[in-house]
Amino acid sequence: MSRYDLEPEPDDLRNEVIRTPENDRPNTPKRPSKPEDLEPETRYNLRGSELQTLVDLGTFRVVRRDDLAEYGYAGDDDLASRDLAHLTDQGLIQQRISYPEREVYLTLSRAGQHYIQNHRPGTVSEGQAFHRGFLKRREAKHDATLYLVYQREAARIRDAGGTITRVVLDSELKQSINRRLANIHSLPADEQQRARQEIAEAHELKVVSGKIALPDLRLEYETPDREQTKVDIELLSGDYRPSQITTKARAGFRMYALSQDAARLRPALQDPELMQEIFSL
């Protein structure tokens, strides 16, 4: 796993978000940030490409800088550098660098999240959530790789004539499911299991081995026939155990892994009843 070359402040550890420029100003009294505390949004003069970058970062929470340049800017590294420098100067995005790899990871600042929530392009669904911060500090590589998984799946869906309408991260599903699970703990065991099944079905998920299986990523999209559907995706890492892979397969998730991991993980799917494949990135 990568770790960052910027050490978290105490507030970072408590809130599980990175520091924002507002909190770094000298001689400024510390107080809870509120939307109205932000400077007027009219100060931002953003190009369309910069606005789309805010959408991409907010949608996936964490994206590698080089991946954004390749896919978000079609390989135009000069334009990517100009946009990212401007967005950083405006306090709308932040970055951290892993070592020894020296990978640059990008995320929205508090101001960036607030801005894009209130200035989302007309092509972006109102139901699309925008996230910020490095919530999984030791899993930056895994989280950022979901952006690559999305590019693969988005191409497949577009080639079939579909249109993606919303991207859902696992944190959104967890929050909704855990809120409902918290209300069933006092029920008898058989009623708990029945309630758990109902909760899973309400979220279009499956219960496997007594637990609701959650994907890393969900893509909701419209088919050429204007039917609404979705695909649930799991990004397998090299330390997945065979039992974990089997659980994800039985849940019906479409599974991806980095090429160096895929070949070693595939033997876990030797059961002929598991009609799943592990796709390489």
Q: Would you list the domain boundaries of the chain? A: 3-137, 160-280
Using DSSP, state whether 229 is helix, strand or coil.
strand
**pTM score, two decimals?**
0.80
Predicted local confidence at residue 73, as pLDDT: 97
Higher pLDDT pick, 42 / 165: 165
- Is the pLDDT reported for residue 79 higher than 70? yes
Check pLDDT > 80 for residue 27: no
Among 211, 205, 210, 260, CA closest to 234: 205
Asked whether residue 24 carries a pLDDT value surpassing 80, the answer given is no
| Percent of the chain scoring above 70 in pLDDT | 81
pLDDT at position 116: 97
Cα–Cα dist 245/213, whole Å: 11
Mean pLDDT of the chain: 84
- Taking the domain 3-137, which CATH number applies? 1.10.10.10
CB-hemisphere CA count at 13 Å for 154? 13
Judged by phi (left if over 0) then psi (alpha if -120 to 50, else beta), residue 133 lies in: left
pLDDT of residue 268: 65
pLDDT value at 35 more than 50: no
3-state secondary structure (DSSP) of residue 235: strand
Q: What are phi and psi of 51, to 5 degrees?
A: -65, -40
Q: CA 107, 231, 279: angle at the middle one, nearest 5?
A: 80
Task: Provide the 8-state DSSP code for 130.
Answer: -
Cβ contact 63:73 at 8 Å: no
Reference 71, options 152, 12, 185, 190; nearest CA is: 152
Burial of 133 (0-12, 13-18, 19+ CB in 10 A): buried
Which region among 94-98, 131-135, 204-208 has the lowest average model confidence (pLDDT)?
131-135
What confidence score (pLDDT) does residue 272 get? 56
In angstroms, rounded to a whole number, what is the distance separating the alpha carbons of residues 18 and 179? 25
What pLDDT is recorded for position 259?
86
